[in-house]
């Protein structure tokens, strides 16, 4: 086995960015960004009815907590300038969100907000190595403040997770050393070698470890060589097919050794064995996978017919119809009300979502984003990502007005606190109203036609996690429907296309370029939906649509039995999973246990697959050897659990470090407890939490080169009112028109029109004692008048009637002036993108 020597050069700060950069915090006191100027014209100041008790720490709060921890945890000898994982330091801070029981007491009753706490994650060096440990600190900081181990939100029995290596910053050096030691081989087979002075040189190579769940306690890693692809950013399209297995049993990278090499279906015990094999006449070389125009995502030169003209866009000339309190991050729109908050690991979450004054969802937010691959090489064969480990909130970069969101959208900044600094991500969330190209409803009667526009509100963010951009949307519809939707775009994580005789990569994907194959993988993205349908006392039922044969007395004697169908309700009586039913043969409904509408029906919300390309999937791989117990929530579509303050999440970013004994084990949460409230010796009150998955079974094909497209990768779940109100709520707020066609006014006329025979119409007068002949004469007169008049239209809701002048920036924003991001980080998918070198600046 070869000992790995570390090259003597300074590690790049960009490539060794941050180990567990998880928590992201909004700037509630920031000035509004200079985007969506037209949308702000004439806007009245709006104030939320309550304080946002879920708001992330302000910069001042974070500063106070950092200073307090140095005093209160003096025995740890914390440092503000860590040099390695041997130092103890405060890694990041965020808000510890209040328990639901306390938050509801304030939001729907008490005048005093709940006690505010900060969560502090510290890097601690202990006798057996480095740990990441969680603490809670009471706010505001006073002489009475205290620091406690944060344990109650984890079911592992500990507030800390051991880091499997002391030297994550050394991973980059190890990879470069591997490539340098076989530079003659890489030059022979790949036509390139490592550039130790400029490791990201476009004509050089890089060597990275497989960023998968750490097996055998993190003691074995496979490294793969890539070309930088720095010009296009297409590194994950440029694997080079040479792999090295490293024994990483030691905490110290300089003690790691290379165990074997792999190339084109063959294993070699040493580099010399590899060199000797190349010289043999029967050695088979794989095609090279070189960068080129094929990885470029843009074509600036082509001009097919029509490209010389800009496409249609949406405008908002009269300003927004929603109300936004920027300081409290509170939104109100046509009956919907909700708070916004963010976290570095998981991005945007919503709290206290109400419709028509009644709470529907207490909490709706991302928990984890998993991608799990399959393949025939040492990297693809065990590749998986848990993206909150990389920080889906911290990687919410600035949105582009006019492209990511309409030019008139409101854009919100986000902050996060790490290593004693507050960082701002400008314009990383957008809020806007939009009108679909399809109607909400329409109907044509004999003499009239009615149409209603489908207008909805969208809250959107995009997280760039290495090779993928995930766009997360919360969409609100006028009828009370709420949708959570995820779209993906970006470069696939490709596999090297070998030239060996077995060609087993054909089992896992397609040949998509000269030296590149695609790798099938599952995207399973988990969301928490703490349902509170008209209150916390809820029941979950499966309302099945089933065939049956039944005899009806009115059919006899002609038909003895009729084949038909019926509804059968199956209560969900214990914590369990549900998969989307075959043929859509069941409805999953969350009912309020006590509240009913005017017709005696229980108030409910139905949970259904949304507007994506297919039913959202769950993980195909069974009992993943890589994931262990780190993501059991991914094995089914939907989970129904008791809500508990001690189970606020289905996953934790630190599960990545120890998936076989995770700090949050979902199997301990979904443990078949009873969901039947009101039973003796049980204090369960009916408060349900759903954990549901969106995503896709992704089999990349040639159309995914160079980028996967968002419209073919969208997936969503919708929450739809089910007897929640007495009628369709959108009737009150929708915009539309009723067009009265030329013809008999007795059919489909407007209330009060001559000839209107509907209740309340002109012919429905209880005090009118006209005889039949008089009524017929009135009808004939009305018909004659109807033949003479032209079709009429009546609008419900406002119409555009005043002239307006819009600047060109409302159609095409001047991006060099309006796009103000200063972020220039390069995200990667190795430990260096999340777990290494946090002490480097």
Q: Which residues are catalytic?
A: 387, 468
Which H/E stretch holds residue 365? Answer: strand 358-373
Distance, CA of 330 to chain centre: 20
Distance CA 654, CA 576 (A): 25
As given in the structure block, the two tokens for residue 452 are 């209603």
| Distances from the Cα of 733 to the Cα of 305, 418, 569, 730, angstroms | 41, 44, 33, 5
Best CA proximity match to 19, nearest among 835, 829, 676, 687: 835
Best CA proximity match to 750, nearest among 783, 789, 781, 793: 793
Cis peptide leading into 216, omega within 30 of 0?
Answer: no
Distance CA 604, CA 355 (A): 12
As given in the structure block, the two tokens for residue 449 are 């036609």
First to last CA, the chain: 35
Burial (CB < 10 A; 0-12, 13-18, 19+), residue 141, is buried
Q: Rounded to 5 degrees, what are φ and ψ at 360?
A: -110, -45
Residue 7, CB-side half-sphere exposure with 13 Å CA sphere: 21
Distance CA 491, CA 510 (A): 15
Q: Is the dihedral of CA 727, 357, 691, 212 positive or negative?
A: positive
Instruction: Judge contact between 527 and 691, C-beta under 8 A.
Output: yes
Best CA proximity match to 752, nearest among 766, 770, 764: 764
Residue with tokens 């969301």: 527
Q: Rounded to 5 degrees, what are φ and ψ at 586?
A: -140, 150
Cis peptide leading into 706, omega within 30 of 0?
Answer: yes
Residues 6+ apart with CB under 8 A from 255: 3
Best CA proximity match to 353, nearest among 329, 368, 331: 331
Best CA proximity match to 656, nearest among 298, 386, 374: 386
Distance CA 799, CA 543 (A): 41
Distance, CA of 591 to chain centre: 26
Which H/E stretch holds residue 136? Answer: strand 129-139
Residues 6+ apart with CB under 8 A from 833: 17, 18, 390, 466, 827
DSSP annotation of 433 reads E
As given in the structure block, the two tokens for residue 551 are 């005899």
Distance CA 777, CA 253 (A): 100
Instruction: Judge contact between 791 and 739, C-beta under 8 A.
Output: yes
Task: Tally Cβ neighbours within 10 Å of residue 417.
Answer: 28
Distance, CA of 637 to chain centre: 15
Residues composing the chain: 841
Task: Tally Cβ neighbours within 10 Å of residue 63.
Answer: 17
């Amino acid at each position: 086995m070869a000992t790995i020597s570390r090259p003597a050069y300074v590690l790049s700060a960009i490539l060794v960015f941050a180990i567990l950069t998880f928590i992201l915090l909004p700037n509630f006191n920031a000035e509004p960004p200079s985007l969506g100027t037209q949308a702000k014209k004439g806007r009245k100041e709006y104030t939320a009815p309550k304080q946002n008790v879920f708001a992330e720490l302000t910069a001042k709060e974070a500063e106070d907590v950092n200073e307090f921890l140095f005093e209160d945890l003096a025995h740890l000898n914390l440092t503000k300038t860590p040099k390695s994982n041997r130092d103890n330091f405060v890694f990041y801070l965020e808000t510890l969100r209040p328990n639901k029981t306390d938050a509801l007491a304030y939001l729907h009753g008490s005048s005093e907000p709940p006690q505010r706490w900060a969560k502090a994650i510290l890097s601690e060096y202990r006798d057996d190595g480095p740990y990441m440990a969680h603490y809670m600190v009471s706010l505001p900081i006073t002489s009475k403040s205290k620091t406690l181990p944060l344990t109650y939100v984890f079911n592992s029995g500990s507030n800390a997770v051991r880091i499997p290596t002391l030297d994550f910053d050394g991973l980059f050096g190890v990879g470069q050393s591997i490539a340098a030691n076989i530079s003659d081989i890489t030059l022979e087979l790949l036509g390139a070698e490592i550039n130790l002075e400029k490791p990201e040189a476009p004509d050089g190579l890089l060597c990275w470890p497989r960023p998968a769940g750490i097996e055998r306690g993190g003691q074995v890693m496979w490294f793969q060589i890539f070309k930088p692809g720095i010009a296009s950013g297409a590194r994950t399209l440029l694997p080079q097919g040479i792999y090295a297995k490293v024994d990483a049993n030691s905490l110290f990278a300089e003690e790691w050794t290379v165990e074997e090499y792999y190339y084109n279906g063959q294993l070699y015990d040493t580099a010399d064995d590899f060199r000797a094999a190349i010289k043999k006449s029967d050695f088979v070389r794989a095609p090279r996978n070189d960068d080129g125009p094929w990885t470029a995502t843009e074509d600036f030169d082509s001009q097919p017919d029509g490209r010389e003209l800009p496409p249609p866009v949406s405008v908002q000339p009269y300003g927004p119809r929603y109300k936004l309190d920027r300081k409290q991050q509170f939104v109100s729109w046509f009956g919907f009300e909700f708070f916004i908050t963010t976290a570095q690991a998981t991005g945007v979450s919503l709290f206290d979502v109400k419709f028509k004054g009644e709470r529907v969802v207490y909490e709706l937010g991302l928990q984890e984003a998993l991608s799990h691959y399959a393949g025939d090489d040492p990297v693809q064969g065990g590749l998986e990502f848990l993206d909150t480990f990389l920080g889906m909130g911290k990687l919410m970069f600035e949105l582009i007005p006019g492209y990511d969101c309409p030019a008139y959208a409101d854009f919100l900044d986000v902050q996060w606190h790490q290593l004693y600094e507050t960082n701002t991500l400008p314009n990383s969330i957008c809020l806007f109203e939009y009108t679909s190209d399809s109607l909400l409803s329409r109907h044509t009667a004999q003499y009239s036609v009615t149409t209603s526009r489908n207008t909805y509100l969208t809250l959107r963010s995009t997280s760039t996690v290495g090779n993928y951009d995930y766009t997360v949307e919360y969409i609100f519809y006028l009828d009370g429907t709420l949708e959570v939707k995820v779209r993906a775009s970006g470069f696939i994580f490709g596999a090297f296309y070998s030239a060996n005789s077995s060609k087993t990569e054909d089992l896992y994907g397609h040949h998509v370029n000269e030296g590149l194959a695609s790798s099938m993988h599952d995207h399973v993205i988990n969301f928490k939906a703490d349902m509170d349908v008209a209150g916390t006392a809820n029941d979950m039922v499966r309302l099945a649509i089933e065939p049956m044969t039944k005899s009806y007395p009115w059919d006899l004697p002609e038909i003895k039995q009729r084949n038909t169908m019926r509804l059968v309700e199956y209560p969900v009586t214990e914590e369990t999973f549900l998969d989307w039913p075959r043929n859509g043969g069941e409805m999953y409904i969350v009912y309020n246990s006590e509240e009913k509408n005017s017709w005696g029906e229980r108030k409910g919300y139905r949970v259904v697959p949304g507007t994506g390309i297919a039913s959202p999937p769950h993980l195909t791989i069974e009992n993943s050897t890589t994931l262990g117990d780190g993501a059991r929530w991914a094995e089914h579509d939907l989970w129904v659990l008791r809500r508990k303050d001690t189970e606020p999440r289905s996953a934790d970013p630190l599960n990545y470090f120890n998936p076989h004994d995770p700090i949050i084990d979902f199997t301990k949460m979904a443990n078949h407890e009873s969901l039947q409230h009101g039973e003796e010796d049980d204090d369960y009150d009916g408060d349900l939490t759903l954990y549901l998955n969106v995503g896709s079974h992704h089999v990349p094909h040639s159309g995914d080169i160079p980028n996967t497209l968002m419209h073919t990768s969208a997936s969503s779940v919708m929450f739809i009112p089910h007897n929640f109100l007495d009628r369709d709520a959108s009737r009150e707020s929708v915009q539309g028109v009723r067009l009265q066609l030329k013809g008999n006014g007795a059919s489909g006329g407007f209330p009060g029109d001559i000839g209107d025979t509907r209740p309340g119409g002109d012919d429905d007068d209880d005090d009118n004692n006209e005889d039949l002949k008089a009524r017929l004469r009135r009808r004939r007169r009305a018909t004659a008048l109807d033949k003479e008049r032209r079709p009429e239209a009546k609008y419900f809701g406002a119409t555009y009637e005043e002239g307006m002048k819009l600047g060109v920036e409302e159609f095409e924003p001047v991006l060099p002036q309006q796009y103000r991001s200063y972020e220039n980080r390069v995200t990667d998918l190795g430990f260096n993108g999340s777990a290494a070198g946090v002490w480097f600046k």
